[in-house]
Amino acid sequence: MKTKDIRQSNFELMRIISMLMIIIGHILMHGNIIAHATGSLRILILFIQALIYIHVNSFVLVTGYFRCETRFKFSKVLQLNNAMWFYKALIPIILIFLGIISLDMISFLKLVSPFSHGDYWFMTTYIYLYLISPILNIVINNINKPNYKKLIALLFVIFSILPYISNQEIYNTRGGYTLLQFIILYFIGAYFKKYKIQECYYLKKYTPEAKKVILMLGYLSLGLVSGFITLATSNVSGGSMINYLSGILNNAIYSYNNPFIIIQSICYFLFFSLLSIKSRVINILSSTTLGVYLIHDNNFIREYLYKILGFQNISYSSTILVKVLLCSLLIFSLCSIIELLRKAIFKFLFNRKFSQKFRLFYRNYLESIGLKINW
């Protein structure tokens, strides 16, 4: 197995774009634009959502792609959790100090504890995925290609198609906001690490540029399909069967485990896998995407951010989308700067003698009780 992560700028660019998609989605939702948009603006936003809803899936796919060949490191778990803890605790402390918010003792203790209490669903699920990744990798590295295909197909049918066509009644997957969804995507991402898309039987005859065009068309087409299905079913009325079917399609269309969105996510991910890019700037910006998420989607920041940006009591015309894009870039930029500062502070503390002594003491203690962990 490989032991060193190699940052590939093509996937790092994908992470940046996906995070911008997340920010845009949050502005549209938490800025109440979706709730107030009507007419042609509502339709346009609907299709924008259909194109950007692959953002979370893409992060998990690329995790499976790289983690399936890397050794588990407990320090990575601590690194992820510490980043979450830093913002989870620091932001409310600053707001309390400024007199903007007040909290009772129980709420405060939950916020400053090193564990998530429903603050960041993605981070909590992602950390759990990382913890069980060594077990998943045993399966990935010991299964042959035909059985691997069967495994993915079976998981896709049971946990994507069946919940989708039954409106979550056959199996409630909670719209893909679960560890199970992340495991499925991890398996898919790892599959394309073992069996490159360039070697796919159906795409072998095409040139690299043609493959990129096909994958991009697949991504766009599936997004349009999702958008048209939502548009067609949003105002349908008729008999009980028609209402039932339209309700199923309309309610499930923006679930992360929607089969259309999963396949669309794969096309998006594979498109970037075919790019050849080397950029130190892209790699540095990509390293801040976790912090960008943790800052801008913090519960307290979310409450004030969109009011400060002026997404309240405004005129909802098509020009609002220009403001959404500009504000997304602004949020990403400011949060990136803050995250770079945090990383610099953590690096400074990590290299201090007291920190090194503490880590050595902690490791020796764990080993003395029989816990040998790859740090």
Q: Render pLDDT for 183-193 as a digit per residue (tens, 0 to 9).
A: 999 999 999 99
Is 368 inside a domain boundary?
no
Structural domain including 211 reads 9-337
Count CA atoms within 13 Å of residue 221 on its CB side.
9
Is 97 inside a domain boundary?
yes
Is 362 inside a domain boundary?
no
52 pLDDT band, cuts 50/70/90, is very high
Average pLDDT of the residues in 334-359: 85
298 pLDDT band, cuts 50/70/90, is very high
Report whether 247 contacts 167 (CB < 8 A). yes
Mean of pLDDT over the chain: 87
Is 316 inside a domain boundary?
yes
Whether residue 259 has pLDDT greater than 60:
yes
Whether residue 181 has pLDDT greater than 60:
yes
User: How many Å apart are CA 155 and CA 187, to the nearest integer?
Assistant: 10
Instruction: Outline where DSSP puts E strands in 250-321.
Output: none
Q: In the prediction, which pLDDT does 2 show?
A: 44
Average pLDDT of the residues in 141-160: 95
Phi, psi of 211 (to 5 degrees): -60, -45
Residue of 14, 86, 94 lying closest to 55 (CA atoms): 14
User: How many Å apart are CA 27 and CA 327, to the nearest integer?
Assistant: 9
Q: How many CB atoms lie within 10 A of CB 369?
A: 6
Whether residue 1 has pLDDT greater than 50:
no
Q: In the prediction, which pLDDT does 5 show?
A: 52
Q: In the prediction, which pLDDT does 78 show?
A: 85
- 290 vs 38, which has greater pLDDT? 290
Q: In the prediction, which pLDDT does 284 show?
A: 95
Whether residue 3 has pLDDT greater than 50:
no
Query: What contacts 344, CB < 8 A, 6 or more positions away?
Result: none
Instruction: Give the chain's domain count.
Output: 1
Whether residue 145 has pLDDT greater than 60:
yes
* DSSP 3-state of 189: helix
User: How many Å apart are CA 184 and CA 160, to the nearest integer?
Assistant: 10
Average pLDDT of the residues in 344-367: 76
Is 364 inside a domain boundary?
no
